[in-house]
Amino acid sequence: MENKKIKIGLIGLGTVGSGVYKTLAGFDNVEISKIAVRNLNKPRNIENLDTSIITDNPYEVVNDPEISIVAELIGGIDPAFELIKTAIKNGKHIVTANKELLAKHGEELFNFAEKYNKVVLYEAAIAGGIPLIMPIKTILAGNKINKVEAILNGTTNYILTKMDVQGASYADVLKEAQELGYAEADPTGDVEGFDAAYKITTLATIAFRKRVKLENVYREGITKIRPQDMHAANDLGYKIKLIASANIDTEGRADVRVHPMLVSKKSTLAHIDYVTNAVSLEGHPVGSVTLSGPGAGEFPTASSVVGDILAIANELGTSDYILPMMRCQHNSEAIPLTIDETVNKYYISINAKNNKGVIGKIGTICANNGISLSSIVQRGVSDDNTADITVITELVLEKDMQKAIKEIEEDEFINKVNSLIRVQI
C-alpha cells in the first residue's frame, strides 16, 4: 500500500501539458493515468508516450474515480470551469495555470472548492516558472504587502525590448515576434494588456489579502508606443515597460492597473528584458523583494504545475484538511480606486507649430490645471516647421492631467499630443 502511486489526470497536452508529462516521469510517487486532448491525431513531441491513456473526452478524466489530482492546462473559461467544478464534486484536488478563469471566477471557484474540502493551487497562473504564490502565502506570510510592480507578459516585454534595442516601430517588431512564435497570430490578449490584467488581479488579491475585482483594474496596452518615445525615455534616464502594478493604502483602497510606464534605469524592472518576467513586492518588515525568471514556456511553467501537484500529493492522507495556508482566506473586498483618482507623474510628447510662445502656452495650460512641470524640452524643428516637445510633469491627479491634455489638444498651435505615458514614482 505504501508504494501505491497517486494518479494524476491532465486536461491539455499542449506546450505546458507536454512539459508536465515529461517532468512527472521523473517522480516515483505519482503517475499520469489519463490525459484529455482536443485532437487525438495531433503529433506530440513526447518520447514513449502511452497513447492508451489519451482521450478526447475530458469528462473521462474528471469522472475517473482513481484520479486524485486533476491538472487543468487548457485555459479559458469554457469548458475549463465546468470541468474543474465536476472534478471537485468528484473528490479531486485541482492544479491550474488558468489566469483568465482565476481573474473572472476566482471567488466562486475557491468557495466551491472549500465547500467540498478540496484545494486549488495555481502557481503557474501568474508568473510561469517564478515561485511566487507559495512564497507569499508561506515565507512572506508575516508581511503586510502594500505595493506590487511587475512585468507579467513576456510577449509585450519582448516587443518593447526589441523596439528599444533596434529603434524599430511597434508594427515591425510585432511582425517579427509573430514569425518567431513569441506573439500569437491574434496578439490582442497580450498587447492590449488583458493577460497582465488577469494576472495582477489574482496577484493583488493574494498580496493584499483582499479580493480585487477584474472590472476595477485599469488596462492600457502598448500599441501606441513609438520609437521616438523609446528614444526620449532613454535620454531622460528611463526605459518603457508594460507594468502591472497594485498599491493599497491605509484605508484599504486598492489602485490596481496595467499600462506602459517610464521606469527609471535605477530600477531593477528597467533591466528585465525580452521574455523574462519579474515581480517586485514591497511590505513590512521585509522591505523590497524582487523575483525574476522565465514567465512562460514548456518547462518553466511545468516547473510550477509539477510543484503544485507534488505539494498536494505529499499531503494526501496526512490530514482531513490539507494545505490550509494555501487555501483562499479572503473574506473582504478591496475598495477600488479609479484611475481618475490616482496621482502620477507623466511623460507627454506634443507635436506643435514652431511658433513663439508655444512652450509658454503649454506651461500655462498645465499651471491652470494645477500641474507643475519637471522639464519641458523642444526636440528640434522638422522640415514642415513643426517641433516635437517633450514634457515631464511633477505629481498630478489623473483627472487634472486629462483635462489639461484636452485643452492642449484644442489649442490652435498644437498639431497633436503623440503620447501620454505615466512615469514610475
Rounded-to-10 torsion of CA 39, 61, 122, 293: -40
Among 53, 107, 57, residue whose Cα is nearest residue 86: 57
Please tell me the CATH code under which domain 133-294 is placed. 3.30.360.10
> Radius of gyration over alpha carbons of the chain, in Å?
24
Are the beta carbons of 143 and 206 closer than 8 angstroms? no
- Residue ranges matching CATH 3.30.360.10 in the chain: 133-294
CA–CA dist 349, 362 (Å, integer): 12
Q: Cβ–Cβ contacts within 10 Å for residue 336, how many?
A: 16
199 tagged catalytic? yes
The DSSP letter of residue 134 is H
Are the beta carbons of 236 and 357 closer than 8 angstroms? no
Q: Which are the contacts of 356, defined by CB distance < 8 A and separation ≥ 6?
A: none
Query: Side by side, which strands form the sheet with 67-72?
Result: 54-55, 30-36, 6-11, 67-72, 93-96, 120-121
Q: Cβ–Cβ contacts within 10 Å for residue 138, how many?
A: 11
DSSP code per residue over 257-318: EEEEEEEETTSGGGG--TTEEEEEEEEETTEEEEEEEE-SSHHHHHHHHHHHHHHHHTTTTT
Q: Active-site residue among 199, 239, 241, 345? A: 199
Name residue, grid cell 502557481. 123
Are the beta carbons of 422 and 261 closer than 8 angstroms? yes
- Residue ranges matching CATH 3.30.70.260 in the chain: 342-423
Q: Is the pTM here over 0.85, yes or no? A: yes
Q: Name the superfamily (CATH) of residues 342-423.
A: ACT domain (3.30.70.260)
Question: What does the pLDDT profile of the chain (425 residues) look like in tens digits?
Answer: 456 899 999 999 999 999 999 999 999 999 999 999 999 999 998 988 999 999 999 999 999 999 999 999 999 999 999 999 999 999 999 999 999 999 999 999 999 999 999 999 999 999 999 999 999 999 999 999 999 999 999 999 999 999 999 999 999 999 999 998 889 999 999 999 999 999 999 999 999 999 999 999 999 999 999 999 999 999 999 999 999 999 999 999 999 999 999 999 999 999 999 999 999 999 999 999 999 999 888 999 999 999 999 999 999 999 999 999 999 877 799 999 999 999 999 999 999 998 888 999 999 999 999 999 999 998 778 888 899 999 999 999 999 999 999 999 999 999 999 999 999 99
3-state secondary structure of 56: coil
CA–CA dist 348, 392 (Å, integer): 6
Among 199, 11, 32, 186, residue whose Cα is nearest residue 103: 199
Are the beta carbons of 236 and 262 closer than 8 angstroms? yes
Give residue 1's pLDDT.
40
Give residue 2's pLDDT.
54
* CB-count exposure of residue 289 (10 Å: 0-12, 13-18, 19+): middle
3-state secondary structure of 14: coil
Give residue 328's pLDDT.
86
What number of helices (H) and strands (E) belong to the chain? Answer: 14, 18
Q: Cβ–Cβ contacts within 10 Å for residue 39, how many?
A: 8
- Residue ranges matching CATH 3.40.50.720 in the chain: 6-128+298-326
Please tell me the CATH code under which domain 6-128+298-326 is placed. 3.40.50.720
User: Side-chain half-sphere of 119: how many Cα atoms within 13 Å?
Assistant: 23
CA–CA dist 99, 96 (Å, integer): 8
